[in-house]
Amino acid sequence: MADYNHRETEQKWQRFWDEHQTYQPEANTDKPKYYVLDMFPYPSGAGLHVGHPLGYIASDIVARYKRLKGFNVLHPMGFDSFGLPAEQYAIQTGQHPAITTEQNRVRYIEQLKNIGFSFDWSREVRTSDPAYYKWTQWIFMELFRSWYNRDTDRAEPIETLLEKFATNGTTDVNAVCDDDTPTFTAAEWNAMSAEESYKITLKYRLTYLADAVVNWCPALGTVLANDEVKDGVSERGGYPVEQKLMRQWMMRITAYADRLLTGLDTIDWTESLKEQQRNWIGKSVGASVKFPVASTPNDYIEVFTTRVDTIYGVTFMVLAPEHELVTQLTTPEQHEAVEAYVNAAKMRSERDRMAETKVISGVFTGSYCINPFNGEKVPIYLADYVLAGYGTGAVMAVPSGDQRDWNFATHFGLPIIPILDAQKDIDKQADNTKEGHYINSGIINGMTYKEATATLIAWLEERGLGRGKVNYRMRDAVFSRQRYWGEPVPVYFKGGLPYLIDESDLPLELPAIDKYLPTETGEPPLGRAEGWKYKGQYEYELSTMPGWAGSSWYWYRYMDPNNDTAFASKEAINYWQNVDLYIGGTEHATGHLLYSRFWNKFLKDRGYVPQEEPFKKLINQGMIQGRSNFVYRVKGTGQEGIAPVFVSLNQINGQDVTPLHADVNIVENDVLDLDAFKAARPDLTENAEFITEPDGRYTVGAEVEKMSKSKFNVVNPDMIVEKYGADVLRLYEMFLGPLEQAKPWNTNGIDGVYRFIRKFWRLFYKDNTDGSSTWLVTDEQPTPAELKILHKTIQKAEGDIDLYSFNTSVSAFMVCVNELTALNCHKRAILQDLVLILSSYAPHITEELWAALGNEPGTISKAKFPTFNPAYLVEDAFEYPIQINGKVRTTISFSLDRAPTEIEKEVLADEIVQKWLDGKSPKKVVVVPKRIVNVVI
């Protein structure tokens, strides 16, 4: 074979892997399992850029390595293929979302295969495939058929709740349920009609209908998740988003709040990611307090506070603009101001309202409530920093104890009652016994913080005005989207109540509709389906499931993707258990990762899976940033009939210029291809003058930015693979830096890795002048120096993969090849093991060389990773520099156990030393063990 042809070799082995299904896990094996998984992508029309494969390359290295270490490896890939982008494209073009989704999927698979990933494509799943979402719908149904028993601390079938009702009513029921759930006796329960008792159960089920404040985007006609809203507008399209109270399907994730917290201590995730989830869940211990409304004492405003001991310092009440009592509390005099404020608040996203601290806004309702402890009248205000969905949507304001309340009180001229903070005094002492002094503190004057808290809660509970309570910042999850391109909810309505369809009717598939917009009467797009009714008479739920539904359980489907009787067989689940290594982005910390843990815990409660947590080890890969290039247009040119003038970077010399992005794909070593630039941007370059360097080149500027089409810095991996090879791309992405850190892409830097691959090849082949090549590998025995180089590299590669430190391994490979080249080493015993340790990183060239070395059964993935032998790294000799009167004249190797007297004797007998002595007797010989020998004459 002539010089290494990367395209021919890579395509050859990619065909081989496809034809032989090389990466399918073994069935019925006694091997230990290893499940490595990537967060599966949404197949967008843009395809992959070089930043996308980073995590996939890392997971692929681990998967290949684990195979060589004797594991049965599951390394699948699929697509999160429901989503808003395809639906928006369908709205614009009228083309069914399934068509564009499939086109994009085909493109993604082509690109992924082109990079040589060891995915088992026979297990591919797609969330938009009815055979897949049948089981997403089934899990929804199981949640609907379940309740959360606090006594057993797990979800149970709804039938166990009905048994309790029939026997003892609600007496011994300790459940997670709606706040307004009634109590009743067994006799009352048994006397209820079927419809009445069914309504009661709806307050307990783990998925339920409720009114919720949501991010409503009128232009898109759908509810958006918080992470789909940026600065008050939709991330896609930039349309205004408002807060709106809507009837929605909800998931009772709050039932699992404590388990979601404690489970974080059992998994190997980064502390920063765990902390994000802890903060999102936001567990607080405190009290629920009822403040009667002054004008209608039978009504009350309920608040949750972690500092009930400060209740004597309350000087005003703040409600969320969406609070259910706003209309009732607003007096006629305040109606206009309140209405304007409420409408303005609707246009701000929750994220913006929570983050804003500098702008103080609010409005007085005109009404008052009563502090239950001192009977003082407290004015009721609205402020958009209070959110309806967090806690009770109301905050008792203590300006002397909270900065935001103090700012609000100061702004509106409200009183501030000083209360010394006993908690701060107590926190300084380990025994928690020092008495704090509360001013105007009524029944708690002179008590410690703990005593005061207990006393106040007891007082509230005795009078039915409140209770001790554990609260969570996390809310139940909204599970409805007013879209077409999502999983239909397997529910129909009879008499206004929701019922599940029969399991035998799954999957409930998306119906055909004429266009992908809400109906003229405001119903979701599914309302356009003609004759779409359950059993021909009952209305279906018209909302679809959110994007996170299908991604909350997909790792189980990979275990048994073609099963049509279960989401996966017991045998498959019991073998694969859960994911050993999961790699993906940090942006999913409080979305996908939280919902996945919730669904996994639910499935365990119901006996379908054995593990509490879905992902043992999680790594968030860093972002590969783009290296943008800029051309410089002289200001005042290129407008109003003046031809544009572009000046090369080194010729600017103080001129006032405007930097403009240039496509990085037409720049090489910071030199712009002028012809390509003119052809690509005729809008900028018509009649343009280019002031170049003296040698005629146009030099561009550079800056690191996020990779994006608008910045013309997107690098297509297909171009890199075509020019340099997939192995070079894989090695270079790992070489850029630690996996978890952000790093800039620079195509100029890839040449070093490209040369390394060819240098590695030349350990096996010599290129001849006639275009042929000569096989260099011999069966000679390796020297100690060669074995030392090899085993040092084996040790490094093995240790680095275990630590997920891939960049340092690539450096070690380069050092190894350089050292073996310097020794002119072409020995099979060395090179065969080197091929194996490099194969996880560069699978194509190593497959080719493995075959050339004559190995069977034909693919390196069936081989065994070399065993590190520390004995080869033990030094048994030292090469002593021999100085004659302070100058090194030769070197002599001595075993480490040689005595200094023996070393001196042999040095003086050495032929070269004898030459420099020239018959003279040395005055002194100094032997420094493992350092040097100095002969003084």
Sorting pLDDT into bands at 50, 70 and 90, what band is 72? Answer: very high
Pairwise CA distance, residues 866 & 69, whole Å: 9
pLDDT of residue 448: 81
pLDDT confidence of residue 437: 43
Given a contact cutoff of 8 angstroms between Cβ atoms, the answer to whether 719 and 665 are in contact is yes
The pLDDT of 742-762, averaged and rounded, is 94
- Who wins on pLDDT, 748 or 847? 847
The mean pLDDT value for 488-497 works out to 97
The C-alpha atoms of residue 471 and residue 830 are separated, in whole angstroms, by 63
Q: What are the two backbone dihedrals, phi and then psi, of residue 748, each rounded to the nearest 5 degrees?
A: -60, -30
Contacts 24+ apart (CB under 8 A), 933-937: 933/880, 933/881, 933/882, 933/883, 933/892, 933/903, 933/904, 933/907, 934/883, 934/886, 935/882, 935/883, 935/884, 935/885, 935/907, 935/908, 936/885, 937/884, 937/885
Using an 8 Å Cβ cutoff, are 390 and 280 in contact?
no
State the average pLDDT over residues 870-888. 90
Report the C-alpha gap between 79 and 550 in whole angstroms. Answer: 10
Residue linked to tokens 């998931």: 251
- As a whole number of angstroms, the distance between CA 350 and CA 118 comes to 42
Higher pLDDT, 686 or 259: 259
Integer Cα distance of 33 and 73 in angstroms: 6
What is the C-alpha separation between 546 and 478, in angstroms, rounded?
8
**376 near 370, Cβ under 8 Å?**
yes
pLDDT band (50, 70, 90) for residue 908:
very high
Asked if residue 359 has pLDDT above 90, the reply is no
Beta carbons within 8 Å of 873's beta carbon, 6+ residues apart: 788, 791, 792, 795
Weakest-pLDDT range from 232-236, 308-312, 378-382, 877-881: 232-236
The confidence band for 425, taking pLDDT boundaries of 50, 70 and 90, is very low
Q: H or E stretch including 147?
A: strand 146-149
Mean pLDDT of the 243-272 span: 94
pTM of the full predicted structure?
A: 0.86
Lowest-confidence range among 82-86, 428-432, 542-546?
428-432
pLDDT on residue 606: 98
Determine the pLDDT at residue 227.
Answer: 65
Give all strands of the β-sheet with 538-540 in edge-to-edge order. Answer: 497-500, 491-494, 538-540, 533-534
pLDDT over 80 (residue 446): no
Q: Output the pLDDT for position 434.
A: 38
**327 Cβ contact partners less than 8 Å away, ≥ 6 residues apart:** none
| Rounded Cα gap, residues 843 and 908, in angstroms | 53
Predicted confidence band at 355 (pLDDT cuts at 50, 70, 90)?
low
For residue 873, the tally of other CB atoms under 10 A from its CB is 12
Look at residue 633 in the predicted model and tell me its pLDDT. 96
Measuring CA to CA, which residue among 896, 903, 891, 894 is closest to residue 927? 903
Question: CA 317: distance to chain centroid?
Answer: 39
What is d(CA 60, CA 54) in angstroms, rounded to the nearest whole number? 10
Residue 114 tokens, joined: 């082109």
Q: Which of 695, 697, 673, 685 has the alpha carbon at shortest distance from 645?
A: 685
Closest listed residue to residue 262, CA positions, set 251, 276, 278: 278
The Cβ of residue 231 has, within 10 Å, a number of other Cβ atoms equal to: 12
pLDDT band, residue 420 (cuts 50/70/90): low
Looking at the chain, the whole-number percentage of residues with pLDDT higher than 90 is 79
In the predicted structure, residue 604 carries a pLDDT above the cut 90: yes
Dist CA 556 CA 569 (whole Å) = 9
Mean pLDDT, residues 605-624 taken together: 97
CA torsion sign for 751, 753, 756, 757 is negative
Six-digit token string for 628: 């943008």
CB atoms within 10 A of CB 203: 16
Higher local confidence (pLDDT), 102 or 746: 102
Q: Which residues pair with 827 in a beta bridge?
A: 778
- Confidence (pLDDT) at 243: 78
pLDDT of residue 449: 83
Residue 419 is predicted with a pLDDT of 73
* 151's tokens: 């006594």
Q: CB neighbours (10 Å) of residue 774?
A: 10
- What is the Cα–Cα distance from 673 to 669, expressed in whole angstroms? 11
What is the mean predicted confidence (pLDDT) over 407-430?
A: 69
* pLDDT(591) > 60: yes
User: Do residues 684 and 637 lie in contact, with contact meaning Cβ atoms separated by under 8 Å?
Assistant: no
Lookup result for tokens 């982008």: 85
Look at residue 252 and tell me whether its pLDDT is greater than 80. yes
Beta partners for 705? 626
> pLDDT tens for residues 174-223?
999 998 999 999 999 999 999 999 999 999 999 999 987 778 888 777 77
Determine if the peptide bond prior to 857 is cis (ω within 30°).
yes
**Nearest Cα residue to 114 out of 746, 708, 724:** 724
Question: What's the pLDDT tens digit per position in 838-852?
Answer: 999 999 999 999 999
- What number is the average pLDDT over the span 571-596? 95
Residues 6+ apart with CB under 8 A from 752: none
Q: Is the pLDDT of residue 506 over 90?
A: yes
What pLDDT score does 759 carry? 97
**Cα gap 846→13, rounded to integer Å:** 10
CA distances to 7, 147, 200, 719, 729 from 722, in Å: 7, 56, 64, 5, 10
What average pLDDT does the segment 731-739 reach? 96
Lowest mean pLDDT among 354-358, 482-486, 597-601: 354-358
The average confidence (pLDDT) of the chain is 92
